[in-house]
Chain A
Amino acid sequence: MKNNIDRRCRECGIGKIAPLARAGRKAQHRTMELEIPATIAIPTCDNCGAEWMDRAMARKIDHAMEGVYRQALRNTLLALLDQITAHAPMRQVERLIGLSEGYLSKVKSGRSEPSAELLSSLGLLARDVTGGLKDLDRLWTDAEKGALHDKRYGPAPSKTHEEQGATPARKFRRAG
């Protein structure tokens, strides 16, 4: 790819495309709109402002944005944990969300990276910690009892072998 060629912008047909690095540019990356690092020079039309890229530039921007995104996840997680642990012990939260004991401490201390999925769960929980934990407790109780069960997906978890429709007892009676 010849990156040193003077390209005319095909969007407006007027401007020339040149690398432009500046603060204040925002872009969607995964789940968030974040500021692109000011040091990243993106080929930009000097007339209409259209941003152009080839594969290498796309990857360069993604790499830079991934760092920004990871930091935003961490900052959000720390704020959410402060909110949540003001109402409930971390151990209880870990148990009901399905995390291993001590995992949230690991994430909080930076020894593990938070995921967007984790933040989604914590974010919803933080809106109503007490109510949310009760709902989670009820969810798992209902799941154990098969109350949420749809028979299209197989037998309910609490059903015995006979309840599932197996016939060894009936065969025994027929033979008798």
Chain B
Amino acid sequence: MKARVPHWALERVKGLVAEGKVWVQITRALQFFETRGSAYDTARATIASLTQRAFAHSTAQTQDVCDVYGVVVDGGWYLKICIDETVPEVAVISFHPLERPLRTNGGEVKPKGWQAPGPASRRGR
């Protein structure tokens, strides 16, 4: 099966990150970090180490196309980014622990401590 390709070229995303051109909205992630600085630095480092294997899918926001990645931070985390061409810079729209498994090019990334639902819930009860 052919690997999915992100909308925003990873080389360009990483290039902007290397220049420090990252703008993040990570309110939900803050509870998992001591400070905003450490949350920001983790988000930035995570993007810097992204590979196409971590790519899951692209998704349409109101006026943008964003790329979703499943990364392992402390368990599986959800990362959604796009490039704001008006600046340009990488906008990190979501960065938080996964709520459910996410299928990526490299396989399924699971939330920390994830247990598959039992047979009863699979029957839709």
Q: Footprint of B on A, CB under 8 Å?
A: 1-2, 5-8, 10-14, 27-30, 50-55, 58-59, 61-62, 65
- Interface contact A14-B62, CB-CB below 8 Å: yes
Q: Footprint of A on B, CB under 8 Å?
A: 20-25, 27, 30-31, 34-37, 39-41, 44, 61-64, 66, 82, 84, 86-87, 89, 91, 93
- Interface contact B25-A62, CB-CB below 8 Å: no
- Interface contact A1-B30, CB-CB below 8 Å: no
Question: Pick the contact of B37 from A5, A6, A7, A59 — CB < 8 Å?
Answer: A59
With contacts A10-B91, A53-B40, A58-B37 taken as known, whether A1 is within 8 angstroms of B86 at the C-beta atoms is no
Bound-state Cα–Cα, A12 to B25, Å: 11
With contacts A13-B64, A27-B30 taken as known, whether A2 is within 8 angstroms of B37 at the C-beta atoms is no
Of the A-B pairs whose beta carbons lie under 8 Å apart in the complex, a sample of 8, sorted by A's number, is A7-B23, A8-B63, A14-B62, A55-B20, A58-B37, A58-B40, A59-B36, A61-B36
> Given the complex, which residues of B lie within 8 Å of A8, measured CB to CB?
63, 84, 86
Minimum distance in angstroms from B50 CB to a CB of chain A:
18
- Interface contact B61-A51, CB-CB below 8 Å: no
Question: Pick the contact of A51 from B20, B25, B37, B66 — CB < 8 Å?
Answer: B25
With contacts A10-B64, A10-B82, A13-B62 taken as known, whether A54 is within 8 angstroms of B87 at the C-beta atoms is no
> Given the complex, which residues of A lie within 8 Å of B87, measured CB to CB?
2, 5, 7
Bound-state Cα–Cα, A96 to B56, Å: 54
